[in-house]
Amino acid sequence: MVKAAAKPKQSPKAYSYIRWSTPEQSKGDSSRRQTDAARRYCEKHGLTLDESTYRDAGISAFKGRNIESGALGQFLEAARAGIVPAGSTLLIEKLDRLTRLPPLKALNVLSALCDLGITVVTLGDGRVHTAESIERDHMGTLMSFILLIRGREESETKSERVGAAWQQKRDTAAEKPLTKRTPGWITLDQKSGTLKLIPERAKVVRQIFQWALKGLGTWGIARKLNGNRVRPFGKSKEWHRSYIVKLLRFKAVIGIYEAHRLVIGRRQFEKDVPDYYPRVIEQSVWNRVQNLVRSTSPLRGRHTDVRSLFSGLARCPKCGGTMTRVYKGKPPKGGTYLACATAKVGGDCEYHAVRYEPVETALLRDADRILDDAPAGDKGIDKQVENAEALLLHLHGQGENLLDAIAQRGISPTLSKRLLDVEQQVEAAREQYDTLLQQQADASEPLVARKIADLKAALRKKPLDRAVANALLRQLFSGIVVDYTGKTQTLTLNWKQGGESVVAYGMEKTK
C-alpha cells in the first residue's frame, strides 16, 4: 500500500500594520519601508505574510483614532472574531506606530493584542511581545513602557503647538467670523466681513418656532412648509422632519456659535460664543421651545424601540427617499404600513401605504437564500481608499507648512484664513476617508461572512428581536427598495459591498 504524501505543514501567518500621520513620512516612503521590513522578517523567520495589510494613512494614534475607526481597530475585531487566528504575528515598525495613547492605556492596547494570542513584533529593534513576555520579562516590559511614554510626549508637544496657533483665533471669534460656513438664513457680507440675516429666510425660521409654540409637531411643520411651497434652505427639494428637529435645537438662532477645535482630525466642542451670529429668535421664545422639545413627544427624536425590521433601510421606489413606519389603528380596518416619508410631509412624491406584514414575512421566508447568495464586493474600493489617503496627506502637508509659518512669523490674517480653509478641507477629507474605510471593511469577505452568520441566527430566534435583527441588516445592506409599482411587488436589497438581491412579497397592490 502506497502511503499518501503528507501535506506540507503551513507556516504561521503574519500580518503587517502600517501607520503614519504626517505628510513628511509619506514623502519619505514610509509605507514602502515598513512593508519591505515586514517581508524581510517573514522570510527570515519562516512566516507567511498575509496579503491583507492593515494600513492607517494620515491617522494619528494620539487619541486612539486608529483603534476606534481605523485599520488597527479592524485588526482587533478580526482577531476577536477568530478571522485572524491565535498564534499569528503582527508586525509593526515601532511601538509608537501602534498607539500614542497615555502610557498605561497604550500598554493595555499591547496587552489586549497579546491576550488574544497575537505575537507583536517591533521590526525596528526586533523585540517580540507576547502575553508571557509582558508578564515575566519585567525589564523588557519596562523598556516598552518607556518607549510608549516617549511617543506620547512627542504627540503632546505637537498638539500644544497646534492648540496655541488656534486659541487666539477662537478668542477673537466674537469680533470677526471664523469661517465662511453659515446657517441657511445667514450670509457673510464679503465687503464688510460681517454676518447678516437673509430677511425672507429669517422670517421662515421665526414662523417655524411660532408653529412649534402652538403645538404643531415636526411632521406637521414640514408638511406646512412643503404645502406652502416654501423653498428649503439647503440642497434638498423638500423640507424634512429631521431638519426641523435640528433647527429647533440649533443655538445659532439665538446668536450663539458653538466653537469646536480639531484635535487629530476630530471635532471637539469647546465653548459657546454668544453674539457671534445675528439673533433671529428671542431668548424667551427659544426657552419655551426647548421645554417643548424636552417634554412633547412630537418634538423629541425618534423612538428608541425599533418595531420594524426595515427601520432606516426601507426606500421609496418613486423618489428613492426613506419609507417610514405608519400605524393606522388596529386591524382589520387599520394596521401597520410603510409609506414614503417625503410624501408624508407633503413633498414631491406619491403617498402610497404598503402593508407591513407581507413585506416582513417575505424577507424572513427568503432570508437564507438571500444571505447564501451574497454578491462579491467592489474591487475598485481599494483604489478609492488610496486616492483619499493621498488627498489627506496633501492637506496635512499644507497644514504643517502653515503652522510652521505661524510659528516663525506669528499669526497674521492671511495665514489664519489659509489655515482655517485647510482645516475645513481636512475635516471633509477625513469624513470621506472614514466612509471609504468603512466601505472597504464592509467588502471584507471574512467579516461579511461573520455578519451573515450573526444575522441568520438573529432571524431564526423566537421571538424575533427586531432591534437586533435591524442592526445586523444595517451592517450588511445600505437600503431596501419596497417596490409596489409592478404586477409583482418586490423588495430589492442593496448590499453594502455592491450588488443586490430581489424578493417577491405580493402580487396585488395594497390600498
Q: What is the pLDDT of residues 14-54, one digit of tens each?
A: 998 887 654 444 444 566 777 788 889 999 989 998 876 67
Mean pLDDT taken over the chain = 78
C-alpha distances in Å from residue 205, one per residue of 227, 246, 279: 16, 12, 11
Identify the helix (H) or strand (E) that includes residue 399: helix 381-409
Q: Where in the chain is the domain with CATH 3.90.1750.20?
A: 173-299
Distance CA 70, CA 50 (A): 19
Provide the pLDDT confidence category of residue 299 given band limits of 50, 70 and 90: very low
Return the minimum-mean-pLDDT range out of 26-35, 119-128, 344-353, 408-417: 26-35
Is 266 a residue whose pLDDT tops 60?
A: no
Question: What 8-state DSSP symbol labels residue 322?
Answer: B
Q: Can you give the pLDDT at residue 173?
A: 43
Average pLDDT of 160-182?
54
- Which listed CATH number (3.90.1580.10, 3.30.930.10, 3.90.1750.20, 3.30.70.920) goes with 173-299? 3.90.1750.20
Helices (H), 410-465: 413-442, 445-460
10-171: what fold?
Answer: Rossmann fold (3.40.50)
Spatial neighbors of 305 by CB under 8 A, at least 6 apart, are: 467
Is 118 a residue whose pLDDT tops 70?
A: yes
Q: Quick one: cell of 99?
A: 498607539
Average pLDDT of 338-355?
88
Spatial neighbors of 267 by CB under 8 A, at least 6 apart, are: 260, 261, 427
Q: Can you give the pLDDT at residue 190?
A: 76
Q: Can you give the pLDDT at residue 106?
A: 77
How much of the chain, in percent, has pLDDT values that exceed 90?
22
By C-alpha distance, which of 243, 425, 239 is closest to 348? 239
For residues 229-244, one letter each, b for 16 or more C-beta atoms within 10 angstroms of the residue's C-beta and e for the rest, the string is ebebbeeeebbbbebb
Beta strands per DSSP E along 58-117 = 89-92
By C-alpha distance, which of 410, 401, 399 is closest to 168? 410
Asked if 494 and 481 touch (Cβ cutoff 8 Å), the reply is yes
Q: Can you give the pLDDT at residue 407?
A: 62
Report angle CA 84, 88, 89 to the nearest 5 degrees. 120
Q: Can you give the pLDDT at residue 158?
A: 54
Say whether the peptide bond before residue 199 is cis (omega within 30 degrees of 0).
no
Provide the pLDDT confidence category of residue 284 given band limits of 50, 70 and 90: confident
Report angle CA 91, 93, 95 to the nearest 5 degrees. 95
Q: Can you give the pLDDT at residue 317?
A: 94
Average pLDDT of 305-312?
80
Rounded to the nearest 5°, which phi and psi values hold at 408?
A: -85, -40
Please list the residues that pair with 56 across neighbouring strands: 19
Average pLDDT of 388-413?
72
Q: Can you give the pLDDT at residue 57?
A: 62
Higher local confidence (pLDDT), 299 or 231: 231
By C-alpha distance, which of 132, 140, 128, 115 is closest to 47? 128
Please list the residues that pair with 187 across neighbouring strands: 196
User: Taking the complete model, does pTM exceed 0.85, yes or no?
Assistant: no
Q: Can you give the pLDDT at residue 379?
A: 61
